[in-house]
Amino acid sequence: MDQVNRQTRSYLMKLFEKNGISPRTFLGQNFLIDLNIIEFIVRESTLTREDLVLEVGSGTGGMTSFMAREAGEIISVDVDPHMIKLATQATLAFDNVQLINQDILKNKNNIQPEILDLLKEKLSQGSLSRLKLVANLPYSIATPLISNLIASDVPWDEMVVTIQLELGQRFVAGPGSSHYGSLSVWLQSQADVEIIKKLPPTVFWPRPKVNSAIVRLFPNEEKKSQILDRPFFQDFVRRLFHQRRKFLRSTIAGMFRKQLTKPEVDAVLKEMELKPNCRAEELPVKDLVELSNCFYRKIQETADSV
């Protein structure tokens, strides 16, 4: 655990000075310097030799090395070549770590296809049966990474990640909360989500200007199976919450004006026993899933009858 034990502020400052580099804050480089937090994250991930770990944000390789002692294999991705160089030095003793110098995201709606293919290939080999995302995530990529991994067809078993606290509050928010939105609904419709620890800025170097949180997600196949069409549902909740303050009827009538008449929209709302003047932000996740399913079926029926 030498590398982990050296993951302190003074050690990192000397390491960066020696290599002639500085943390790149525009890439969200805030390194964990509290060893207890690193141990907590890895412990909560309950890693075994059956686990394939996806780490995004390799950093200096401190947590990577720690996880490599427990997991079957680590795929660690970092967009910064300086970090890949440092992480390579830190993980030389391990033959189960693969470092990739690449942006994990192809764009805001897609994870790099070659990385998804690599994860699928590793899981198909037999010795690795579970995929876990365990990472100190750069703030800017947390939402698209987690949302897109859930949207993908790659099976995952657990996520334990550090993110901005405000984002974590959006993950777990319920109806009526100011944090409740399309992201809350999308995640909670397919996973069990919880904030397991709140983190002050002092556990990072450089210190971020906001509080952070460690969030854990488990897939919930029963909830996921209730969604008739996931791409339709994802688009439905995004558009619905884009105008979260507007009444449900007017929002949906505008969304589907090319596919459905207003009487057809009213019929679906009546079937759901929803008042036209209710708002999306007032509805629990299960009702939004059912509402999406009703409109998906109605649009399919209308298209088939043409």
Domain boundaries, the chain: 2-224, 230-305
Of the ranges 92-106, 108-122, 162-176, 244-258, which one carries the lowest mean pLDDT score? 244-258
Domain 230-305 has CATH 1.10.8.100: yes
- Per-residue pLDDT at 306 exceeds 70: no
pLDDT at 28: 81
Residues 205, 8 contacting (CB under 8 angstroms): no
- Per-residue pLDDT at 106 exceeds 90: yes
What mean pLDDT value characterizes the chain?
Answer: 94
Reported confidence tier of residue 6, pLDDT bands at 50, 70, 90: low
Residues 165, 198 contacting (CB under 8 angstroms): yes
pLDDT at 215: 98
- How many residues in total does the chain contain? 306
Reported confidence tier of residue 126, pLDDT bands at 50, 70, 90: confident
Reported confidence tier of residue 303, pLDDT bands at 50, 70, 90: confident
Which CATH fold topology does 2-224 show? Rossmann fold (3.40.50)
- Per-residue pLDDT at 111 exceeds 70: yes
Identify each DSSP E strand in the chain by its residue range.
Answer: 31-32, 51-56, 73-78, 97-101, 105-107, 110-111, 130-136, 158-164, 191-199, 204-205, 212-219
pTM of the complete model beyond 0.85: yes
pLDDT at 1: 44
Residue type, 62: G
Q: What is the mean pLDDT of residues 26-45?
A: 93
pLDDT at 27: 83
- 39 class by beta-carbon count within 10 Å (0-12 exposed, 13-18 middle, 19+ buried): middle
pLDDT at 243: 81
pLDDT digit string, tens, across residues 266-276 = 999 999 999 88
pLDDT at 8: 87
Backbone angles phi, psi at 243, to 5 degrees: -125, 60
First-residue to last-residue Cα distance in the chain: 66
Of the ranges 69-78, 203-212, 222-231, 271-280, which one carries the lowest mean pLDDT score? 271-280
pLDDT at 158: 98
Q: What is the mean pLDDT of residues 71-75?
A: 98
